[in-house]
Amino acid sequence: MAITAQQVKELRERTGAGMMDCKKALVEADGDIDKAVEALRTSGLAAAEKKSGRATAEGLIESYIHAGGKIGVLVEVNCETDFVARTEDFQELVKDVAMHVAAADPRFVRREEVTEDVLDRERRIFREQALAEGKPENIVDRIVEGKIGKYYSECVLLEQSFVKDPDKTVEDLIKEKIAKIGENIQIARFVRFQLGSGGEASE
């Protein structure tokens, strides 16, 4: 079937993909915009995985102040080039990450940063809770590991549900931007200040 310029334009606006990629996706999807969006997202996210090992030496530091000056955040997000760091897409992403940190109060950027001491303490607490609830000893370990998974989703920035769209995680958001922008993007670190409680930094 013939693909119109209007269809290509609409797909570009929805995905940020190149014109030729949009046209090819529409041809393969027989003009179905939703199928074309899905195909571009899938191929884009696959490309994002390949870019995840590339060096990120540029980027931005963004601040966000919330709740009448009672919560403040500084976040550093890195990309590969200064050109991308100055784009509206990247700047919007960094602002969104800073706002998310203010709202969701993560403790770590990624799960690899969670120390064994912290995990041991959490496992001990979860085990004691399970036993106190009368759970059988033979399933306690499984319960504990399930709760550790939940702990990651609550305390690790990349694994938290994104506050502006809870259907995706912050990591999903980053991968979507990598696919759209075409460069590796990494959240380097953040510090969140809450009046009266001191700052919590993550590197």
What domain range is 188 assigned to?
58-110+156-202
Same domain, 150 and 166: no
176 lies in the same domain as 104:
yes
Which residue, among 131, 154, 153, has the nearest Cα to 144 in the 3D structure? 131
CATH of the domain at 17: 1.10.8.10
**What mean pLDDT comes out for the span 15-24?**
75
Structural domains of the chain, count: 3
What CA–CA distance (Å, rounded) separates 193 from 57? Answer: 26
CA angle 130, 126, 132 (to 5 degrees): 30
> Rounded to whole angstroms, how far apart are CA atoms 141 and 133?
14
CATH number of residue 131's parent domain: 1.10.286
Question: Are residues 131 and 44 located together in one domain of the fold?
Answer: no
CA count, 13 A, side-chain hemisphere, 95: 7
* Residue 166: pLDDT band with limits 50, 70, 90: very high
Please say if the pLDDT value at position 108 is more than 80.
yes
Lowest mean pLDDT among 37-46, 55-64, 91-100, 178-187: 37-46
Listed in order, strand segments (DSSP E) in the chain are 58-66, 71-79, 161-162, 165-169, 186-194, 198-202
The pLDDT of 148-173, averaged and rounded, is 95
Per-residue model confidence as pLDDT tens digits over 36-81: 888 877 766 555 555 556 667 799 999 999 878 999 999 999 999 9
**Is 161 in the same domain as 192?**
yes
- Do 38 and 122 lie in a common domain? no
**Strand-pair category, 58-66 with 186-194:** unpaired
Whether residue 160 sits in one domain with residue 90 = yes
In this prediction the pTM is 0.70
Using only C-alpha atoms, the chain has a radius of gyration, in whole angstroms, of 21
Residue 39 CA to residue 33 CA, distance in Å, equals 10
130-160 pLDDT per residue, tens: 989 888 888 998 999 999 999 999 999 999 9
